[in-house]
Amino acid sequence: MVTLHHAPAWKVAVYGRDHGVPHFHVEGRGWRCSVAIATLEVIIGTYDQKSLGAAIAWASGRQAELMDKWNELNP
């Protein structure tokens, strides 16, 4: 797992040896969800709406970076 961003209430991580469509994880206290890199839509999981909105705003300008990290960790 590589943490790409850490905010006070949540963090964004990409896992190695993961499966499914390219995605990243948004994790907070007591919740975790997976978000598709291409569409920025939640694939699965639970989340805090405010934190998820902030995480998606952060990710929206970094989709190429997220995809590069996904490909590096999931060859």
Cβ-count burial of 33 within 10 angstroms (0-12 exposed, 13-18 middle, 19+ buried)? buried
Mean pLDDT by 10 residues, the chain (75 residues): 95 95 97 98 97 98 97 94
Q: How many domains does the chain have?
A: 1
What pLDDT sits at residue 26?
98
Q: What residues make up the domain containing 30?
A: 2-73
